[in-house]
Amino acid sequence: MVSGQRHATVSGQDHLATRDPATMLTCALLFAITAVAWIHVVSSMGSHSHEAMTTMPTLLAHIMAYVASWAVMMAAMMLPSALPMIALYGATQRNAVSAGARGVHVALFTLMYLGLWGVMGVPVYLASMLLGIVAADLLPYGVALVLLAAGAYQLSPLKQVCLRACRSPLAFLLGRWRPGAAGSLALGWAHAIYCVGCCWALMVVLVAAGAMGLSWVLLIAALVTAEKLLPLGEWIARLAGGALVILGLAVALRPDLVMLVRHGHVM
Protein backbone atom coordinates (compact mmCIF):
# COMPACT_ATOMS: atom_id res chain seq x y z
CA MET A 1 0.00 0.00 0.00
CA VAL A 2 2.78 2.39 0.93
CA SER A 3 4.67 1.49 -2.24
CA GLY A 4 1.59 2.16 -4.35
CA GLN A 5 1.01 5.52 -2.68
CA ARG A 6 4.62 6.43 -3.17
CA HIS A 7 4.43 5.45 -6.87
CA ALA A 8 1.32 7.57 -7.36
CA THR A 9 2.89 10.51 -5.54
CA VAL A 10 6.14 10.42 -7.51
CA SER A 11 4.33 9.85 -10.82
CA GLY A 12 2.04 12.80 -10.23
CA GLN A 13 4.90 15.03 -9.23
CA ASP A 14 6.86 13.93 -12.28
CA HIS A 15 3.95 15.19 -14.40
CA LEU A 16 3.90 18.49 -12.53
CA ALA A 17 7.66 18.93 -12.24
CA THR A 18 7.88 21.47 -15.03
CA ARG A 19 4.99 23.47 -13.49
CA ASP A 20 6.44 23.62 -10.00
CA PRO A 21 7.99 27.09 -9.40
CA ALA A 22 10.56 25.70 -6.97
CA THR A 23 11.62 23.08 -9.48
CA MET A 24 11.88 25.71 -12.20
CA LEU A 25 14.01 27.84 -9.89
CA THR A 26 16.23 24.85 -9.14
CA CYS A 27 16.69 24.19 -12.86
CA ALA A 28 17.50 27.84 -13.52
CA LEU A 29 20.09 27.83 -10.74
CA LEU A 30 21.69 24.64 -12.04
CA PHE A 31 21.79 26.08 -15.56
CA ALA A 32 23.54 29.17 -14.16
CA ILE A 33 26.07 27.03 -12.29
CA THR A 34 26.70 25.01 -15.43
CA ALA A 35 27.22 28.17 -17.49
CA VAL A 36 29.68 29.60 -14.98
CA ALA A 37 31.54 26.27 -14.87
CA TRP A 38 31.81 26.19 -18.67
CA ILE A 39 33.08 29.77 -18.74
CA HIS A 40 35.76 28.79 -16.25
CA VAL A 41 36.70 25.64 -18.19
CA VAL A 42 37.04 27.47 -21.51
CA SER A 43 38.91 30.46 -20.05
CA SER A 44 41.36 28.32 -18.07
CA MET A 45 41.98 25.62 -20.70
CA GLY A 46 45.66 25.23 -21.37
CA SER A 47 46.73 27.19 -18.32
CA HIS A 48 47.36 24.17 -16.09
CA SER A 49 50.77 22.61 -15.70
CA HIS A 50 51.27 19.02 -14.55
CA GLU A 51 55.00 19.00 -13.96
CA ALA A 52 56.20 17.09 -10.92
CA MET A 53 56.66 19.13 -7.77
CA THR A 54 59.65 18.68 -5.47
CA THR A 55 58.36 19.88 -2.11
CA MET A 56 55.40 18.38 -0.29
CA PRO A 57 53.55 21.67 0.43
CA THR A 58 53.84 22.63 -3.23
CA LEU A 59 52.74 19.16 -4.31
CA LEU A 60 49.70 19.25 -2.03
CA ALA A 61 48.78 22.70 -3.29
CA HIS A 62 49.14 21.48 -6.86
CA ILE A 63 46.93 18.46 -6.19
CA MET A 64 44.28 20.63 -4.52
CA ALA A 65 44.30 23.08 -7.42
CA TYR A 66 44.06 20.23 -9.93
CA VAL A 67 41.18 18.55 -8.09
CA ALA A 68 39.34 21.87 -7.75
CA SER A 69 39.73 22.49 -11.49
CA TRP A 70 38.59 18.92 -12.22
CA ALA A 71 35.51 19.41 -9.99
CA VAL A 72 34.53 22.54 -11.92
CA MET A 73 35.02 20.68 -15.20
CA MET A 74 32.81 17.83 -13.96
CA ALA A 75 30.12 20.32 -12.95
CA ALA A 76 30.21 21.74 -16.48
CA MET A 77 30.18 18.32 -18.17
CA MET A 78 27.85 16.31 -15.92
CA LEU A 79 25.20 18.71 -14.61
CA PRO A 80 23.31 19.00 -17.94
CA SER A 81 22.71 15.25 -18.09
CA ALA A 82 21.92 15.05 -14.34
CA LEU A 83 19.36 17.86 -14.48
CA PRO A 84 16.28 15.62 -15.12
CA MET A 85 17.15 13.45 -12.10
CA ILE A 86 17.73 16.45 -9.84
CA ALA A 87 14.56 18.21 -11.03
CA LEU A 88 12.45 15.10 -10.50
CA TYR A 89 13.92 14.59 -7.06
CA GLY A 90 12.95 18.16 -6.19
CA ALA A 91 9.43 17.51 -7.49
CA THR A 92 9.07 14.44 -5.25
CA GLN A 93 9.69 16.71 -2.25
CA ARG A 94 6.85 19.05 -3.22
CA ASN A 95 4.27 17.88 -0.69
CA ALA A 96 6.59 16.07 1.69
CA VAL A 97 8.57 18.92 3.26
CA SER A 98 8.59 22.69 3.60
CA ALA A 99 10.08 24.83 0.85
CA GLY A 100 13.21 25.50 2.89
CA ALA A 101 13.75 21.84 3.73
CA ARG A 102 13.16 20.88 0.11
CA GLY A 103 15.90 23.26 -0.99
CA VAL A 104 18.27 21.71 1.54
CA HIS A 105 17.42 18.19 0.38
CA VAL A 106 17.95 19.02 -3.30
CA ALA A 107 21.21 20.80 -2.46
CA LEU A 108 22.46 17.77 -0.49
CA PHE A 109 21.52 15.44 -3.34
CA THR A 110 23.35 17.61 -5.87
CA LEU A 111 26.40 18.23 -3.70
CA MET A 112 26.82 14.52 -3.01
CA TYR A 113 26.61 13.82 -6.74
CA LEU A 114 29.15 16.51 -7.66
CA GLY A 115 31.29 15.69 -4.62
CA LEU A 116 31.97 12.14 -5.77
CA TRP A 117 32.89 13.35 -9.24
CA GLY A 118 35.19 15.91 -7.60
CA VAL A 119 36.92 13.25 -5.49
CA MET A 120 37.55 11.30 -8.68
CA GLY A 121 40.02 14.07 -9.48
CA VAL A 122 42.55 12.50 -7.11
CA PRO A 123 43.07 9.26 -9.05
CA VAL A 124 42.80 11.26 -12.28
CA TYR A 125 45.65 13.49 -11.09
CA LEU A 126 47.79 10.46 -10.23
CA ALA A 127 47.01 8.87 -13.60
CA SER A 128 47.92 12.07 -15.47
CA MET A 129 51.22 12.31 -13.58
CA LEU A 130 51.98 8.66 -14.38
CA LEU A 131 51.17 9.27 -18.03
CA GLY A 132 53.58 12.19 -18.03
CA ILE A 133 56.56 9.97 -17.18
CA VAL A 134 55.80 7.26 -19.74
CA ALA A 135 58.53 6.95 -22.33
CA ALA A 136 57.65 8.73 -25.57
CA ASP A 137 57.96 5.55 -27.66
CA LEU A 138 55.52 3.71 -25.36
CA LEU A 139 52.93 6.50 -25.11
CA PRO A 140 51.08 5.64 -28.36
CA TYR A 141 50.54 2.06 -27.23
CA GLY A 142 49.35 3.21 -23.82
CA VAL A 143 46.86 5.56 -25.46
CA ALA A 144 45.76 2.80 -27.86
CA LEU A 145 45.18 0.48 -24.89
CA VAL A 146 43.08 3.13 -23.15
CA LEU A 147 40.98 3.68 -26.26
CA LEU A 148 40.44 -0.05 -26.75
CA ALA A 149 39.54 -0.60 -23.09
CA ALA A 150 37.15 2.34 -23.07
CA GLY A 151 35.53 1.16 -26.29
CA ALA A 152 35.10 -2.35 -24.92
CA TYR A 153 33.51 -0.98 -21.74
CA GLN A 154 31.08 1.13 -23.78
CA LEU A 155 29.89 -2.13 -25.34
CA SER A 156 29.71 -4.06 -22.06
CA PRO A 157 26.56 -5.11 -20.14
CA LEU A 158 27.75 -3.20 -17.04
CA LYS A 159 27.80 0.02 -19.04
CA GLN A 160 24.22 -0.59 -20.15
CA VAL A 161 23.06 -1.33 -16.57
CA CYS A 162 24.54 1.93 -15.29
CA LEU A 163 23.27 3.88 -18.30
CA ARG A 164 19.71 2.60 -17.84
CA ALA A 165 19.76 3.77 -14.20
CA CYS A 166 20.84 7.24 -15.35
CA ARG A 167 18.26 7.32 -18.17
CA SER A 168 15.32 6.37 -15.90
CA PRO A 169 15.07 8.94 -13.08
CA LEU A 170 11.58 7.84 -12.01
CA ALA A 171 12.51 4.16 -11.74
CA PHE A 172 15.71 5.08 -9.93
CA LEU A 173 13.90 7.15 -7.29
CA LEU A 174 11.11 4.62 -6.83
CA GLY A 175 13.58 1.82 -6.21
CA ARG A 176 15.85 3.71 -3.81
CA TRP A 177 13.66 6.29 -2.09
CA ARG A 178 14.83 7.43 1.35
CA PRO A 179 13.22 10.26 3.36
CA GLY A 180 14.95 13.20 5.03
CA ALA A 181 18.38 14.74 4.70
CA ALA A 182 20.11 11.39 5.18
CA GLY A 183 17.98 10.02 2.38
CA SER A 184 19.03 12.90 0.11
CA LEU A 185 22.68 12.09 0.72
CA ALA A 186 22.08 8.37 0.14
CA LEU A 187 20.20 9.00 -3.09
CA GLY A 188 22.82 11.46 -4.31
CA TRP A 189 25.53 8.92 -3.55
CA ALA A 190 23.69 6.12 -5.35
CA HIS A 191 23.08 8.29 -8.40
CA ALA A 192 26.72 9.35 -8.45
CA ILE A 193 27.91 5.73 -8.26
CA TYR A 194 25.78 4.77 -11.24
CA CYS A 195 26.90 7.88 -13.13
CA VAL A 196 30.58 7.12 -12.46
CA GLY A 197 29.93 3.54 -13.54
CA CYS A 198 28.38 4.86 -16.73
CA CYS A 199 30.99 7.47 -17.64
CA TRP A 200 34.35 6.60 -16.05
CA ALA A 201 35.77 5.09 -19.25
CA LEU A 202 35.00 8.26 -21.20
CA MET A 203 36.78 10.31 -18.52
CA VAL A 204 39.83 8.05 -18.84
CA VAL A 205 39.79 8.78 -22.56
CA LEU A 206 39.57 12.49 -21.76
CA VAL A 207 42.71 12.32 -19.62
CA ALA A 208 44.83 9.79 -21.50
CA ALA A 209 43.85 10.19 -25.15
CA GLY A 210 42.44 13.69 -25.13
CA ALA A 211 45.02 15.23 -22.78
CA MET A 212 42.04 17.16 -21.34
CA GLY A 213 41.97 19.41 -24.39
CA LEU A 214 38.93 21.58 -25.02
CA SER A 215 37.84 19.68 -28.14
CA TRP A 216 37.77 16.40 -26.20
CA VAL A 217 36.00 18.04 -23.25
CA LEU A 218 33.25 19.30 -25.57
CA LEU A 219 33.00 16.00 -27.44
CA ILE A 220 32.73 13.84 -24.33
CA ALA A 221 30.33 16.25 -22.63
CA ALA A 222 28.07 16.08 -25.69
CA LEU A 223 28.37 12.29 -25.79
CA VAL A 224 27.49 11.90 -22.10
CA THR A 225 24.45 14.15 -22.51
CA ALA A 226 23.32 12.33 -25.64
CA GLU A 227 23.69 8.91 -24.02
CA LYS A 228 21.58 9.89 -21.04
CA LEU A 229 18.93 12.15 -22.57
CA LEU A 230 18.31 11.25 -26.21
CA PRO A 231 15.81 8.51 -27.15
CA LEU A 232 18.48 6.26 -28.72
CA GLY A 233 21.04 6.90 -25.99
CA GLU A 234 21.94 3.23 -25.49
CA TRP A 235 22.76 2.88 -29.19
CA ILE A 236 24.75 6.11 -29.10
CA ALA A 237 26.86 4.57 -26.33
CA ARG A 238 27.45 1.47 -28.46
CA LEU A 239 28.37 3.51 -31.53
CA ALA A 240 30.81 5.53 -29.44
CA GLY A 241 32.31 2.29 -28.17
CA GLY A 242 32.82 1.04 -31.71
CA ALA A 243 34.42 4.34 -32.72
CA LEU A 244 36.82 4.19 -29.76
CA VAL A 245 37.83 0.63 -30.64
CA ILE A 246 38.52 1.65 -34.25
CA LEU A 247 40.52 4.68 -33.10
CA GLY A 248 42.49 2.53 -30.66
CA LEU A 249 43.39 0.05 -33.39
CA ALA A 250 44.40 2.91 -35.68
CA VAL A 251 46.74 4.37 -33.05
CA ALA A 252 48.23 0.92 -32.33
CA LEU A 253 48.96 0.39 -36.04
CA ARG A 254 50.03 4.00 -36.68
CA PRO A 255 51.73 5.27 -33.48
CA ASP A 256 52.31 8.69 -35.05
CA LEU A 257 48.54 9.27 -34.90
CA VAL A 258 48.81 9.69 -31.13
CA MET A 259 49.88 13.30 -31.61
CA LEU A 260 46.85 13.97 -33.77
CA VAL A 261 44.63 12.40 -31.11
CA ARG A 262 46.18 14.22 -28.17
CA HIS A 263 47.22 17.56 -29.63
CA GLY A 264 45.62 17.93 -33.05
CA HIS A 265 48.79 17.56 -35.14
CA VAL A 266 50.96 14.74 -36.48
CA MET A 267 54.65 14.34 -35.69
pLDDT of residue 99: 61
What span, in angstroms and rounded, lies between the C-alpha atoms of 88 and 124? 31
Tell me if the pTM is above 0.95.
no
What span, in angstroms and rounded, lies between the C-alpha atoms of 248 and 264? 16
End-to-end CA distance of the chain: 67
Query: What is the span of the domain harbouring residue 145?
Result: 2-263
pLDDT of residue 23: 65
User: Mind listing the pLDDT tens digit for each residue in 103-124?
Assistant: 788 889 999 999 999 999 898 8
Number of domains in the chain: 1
The residue that leads in pLDDT, 94 or 253, is 253
DSSP 8-state assignment for residue 168 = -
pLDDT of residue 98: 65
Say if residue 59's pLDDT is above 90. Answer: no
Q: How confident is the model at residue 46 (pLDDT cuts 50, 70, 90)?
A: low
Say if residue 203's pLDDT is above 90. Answer: yes
User: Mind listing the pLDDT tens digit for each residue in 123-170?
Assistant: 888 888 887 787 777 888 988 999 999 999 999 999 999 999 999 888
